[in-house]
Structure 1
Amino acid sequence: TLVRCCFISPFTRAQIYAENKLTSNESNGSFKEAASIDYPIDEDAMIHIPGIVREFACEALFAQNIDGRSIATLVLDSLLEAPIDFRRQLADNILVIGGTAMMSGFLHRFNAELIHLANLPAYINRLVIKQFRFHSPPAHLNYTAWLGGSMFGALDVLESQSIQRKT
């Protein structure tokens, strides 16, 4: 339902909304909300989803929590943990999978967040990466991880590379 009804705002629109929210508790007339929809939940029931909920339900993915973490900062921090010689190659080979990645606008916003954060003082001098490249997954986003796990599990090498618990 989330994937069908909700979408991710572009980076600049989310910034404008956040600024308006901080400066005013009232609805700002210059900020046009997305259209509300009625979504059927069974044969005789509908749920009304306001436009503001449809558009900003997933902002928690991009908003930094109390520790200053978001999905974009997790990627950037992971790049900083990698050896310096591998960082550029890793930033050019990002694969985003899972059901959340299926949301309209997710990948575009994720890339914009990475670029924005990479240019902040916390990262700009240590990371020195200006762009990120994303691969298209070999299967549908919501079951790519399962597909990879099942392929790895079917390999003959798995038994020799695994740790077994003795009973």
Structure 2
Amino acid sequence: MEKASIVLDIGGSYTKCGYTGESTPRCIVPTDLHPFNLSQYLSSGISYDHTTTDNNNNNNLIILPTAQQLTEPLLNFLNTLFLKYLLCKPEQKKIVIVENLFVPRMFRQLLVSLLFDHFKVQSIVLLSPTVSLLPLLRTTAVIIDCGYSESRVYEGIGMMSAYKTARVGSKTIRDQLKKSLMDDLANRTVVSNTLTRQPLEQSQARSIIESLTSQQLEDILIKTTVLALDPTSVTISNIEYHLTPTTSLSISSQQRSHICDALFHDPNVEQDCDGVDEENIVTLLLDSLIQCDIDMTKSLAHSLLLIGGTGMLPGFKAKLIQQVKKRLDEADDDSIYSQLKGLTNHLEFIDHQYQPNYFMWLGASLAGTFDTYTTHRLTHDQYTRGNKRLPEYERCTINSTK
């Protein structure tokens, strides 16, 4: 019996890894390429230049690593995955990788080079995110991928012309939360001593908020966010989040109910969304449907598939459907969305039992067990004979007879 292959889904925030044929990853760990921020590097919305200026803030210079700079952090990270979490010798394994289609080519090239030349893996299969449809036994759907640094919409197999992306994701709402807490320092008690119930000095409170890590902000959002369809119809109170046994953080009802508005960017709600693109998940979905043939839009509207960790926020699906319907209802005859008004009552998510954050990994886990995917496999010998260059995605079928 053939040994199971390793399945890797390297994301901007978390990496999922495990073995083919399994229903869940062996582990989901932070993608740690210290000192580099992989989320910026893997974002398809950022130039692949070594240095580039963020359009939202001209004073914020983003420095992207070169292949030479990224080699050691990526090597250490892969070594940790194989030896600490998967407990295996990589030279005895085949690798299945599912990834963002628009990841910089140099990162893909470096990843494959390290796996072949350093870890001596037997072969590598590169799969696109549309493999997410495999567990559902479907050939096409609207795949809404809400990740860490950006969100993407695919239209299943063969519809990549309808691909859309925007730099909104969980990083967006984490940054918004941190900014909102800083802005509230002068108006109310944000950080207090849990033992004495007294507010801390503003300078000390500011230092604590500035030092909040991405993981802490994520935990705050998961435990306190309320995605209500109508926040005015429910009672949402302030809540205390305990940072340490002696320090607590006050999250206001406004923050709990509206901090995720940046993802949907409701134009009728005043919000401070500095750094948020005009595009958002709502417009991504509508723009993608517009790109499809008119006779397909109704069936696709009934086949929405939400993947990515951001989509796991309670109430996210209902909120997205509500905002899409609202955008369609308010579209006038001159709006580009007027042609989609007939879809208002046909928007429906595919019902399944899997978790959105590892859905792509699950599809790759199933695909890796099929013989039909052997034509997509790149062996070390083929890689060497091809001058150690990867084929483009449209040429990913490798003819082993060449």
Q: TM-score w.r.t. structure 1 length?
A: 0.74
Ranges in structure 1 where 5+ consecutive residues have no aligned partner: 17-30
Q: Secondary structure at the match of 1:125?
A: helix
Q: Which residue of 2 aligns with 1:129?
A: 343
Distance 1:104 1:151, change over 3 A: same
Once the two structures are aligned, what percentage of the paired residues are identical?
Answer: 27
Per mean C-alpha deviation after superposition, the further-off stretch among 93-102 and 119-128 is 119-128
Which of 254, 263, 269 matches 1:61?
Answer: 263
Deviations 1:80-103 (A, max 9, x none): 111111110100011112222222
Matched, 1:149 2:364: yes
Q: Is the 8 A contact 2:328 2:340 kept in 1?
A: no
Per residue, is there more helix in 1 or in 2?
Answer: 1
Moved over 3 A (4+): 42-45, 64-68, 161-165
| Greater RCO (CA < 8 Å, at least 6 residues apart) | 1
What is the CA distance between 1:160 and its match in structure 2? 1.1
Q: Which residue of 2 aligns with 1:7?
A: 226
Q: Secondary structure at the match of 2:296?
A: helix
Distance 1:84 1:32, change over 3 A: closer
Q: Is the 8 A contact 1:95 1:137 kept in 2?
A: no
Q: Which residue of 2 aligns with 1:98?
A: 308
Deviations 1:61-117 (A, max 9, x none): 010688642201111111111111111010001111222222222111111111112
What is the CA distance between 1:151 and its match in structure 2? 2.2
Structure whose alpha-carbon radius of gyration is higher: 2
Distance 1:80 1:50, change over 3 A: same
What is the CA distance between 1:43 and its match in structure 2? 3.9
Within 5 Å, which residues of 2 pair with 1:22-101?
34-63=236-265, 68-101=278-311
Distance 1:61 1:160, change over 3 A: same
Q: Which amino acid aligns with 1:35?
A: S
Q: Which amino acid aligns with 1:77?
A: D
Q: Which residue of 1 aligns with 2:322?
A: 112
Q: Is the 8 A contact 1:7 1:55 kept in 2?
A: yes
Q: Is the 8 A contact 2:240 2:248 kept in 1?
A: yes
Ranges in structure 2 where 5+ consecutive residues have no aligned partner: 1-218, 267-272, 389-402
Alpha carbon RMSD of aligned pairs, Å?
Answer: 2.8
Q: Which amino acid aligns with 1:41?
A: L
Per residue, is there more strand in 1 or in 2?
Answer: 2
The 1-side partners of 2:362 and 2:319 are apart by 26
Q: Is the 8 A contact 1:97 1:137 kept in 2?
A: no
Q: TM-score w.r.t. structure 2 length?
A: 0.33
Distance 1:150 1:45, change over 3 A: farther
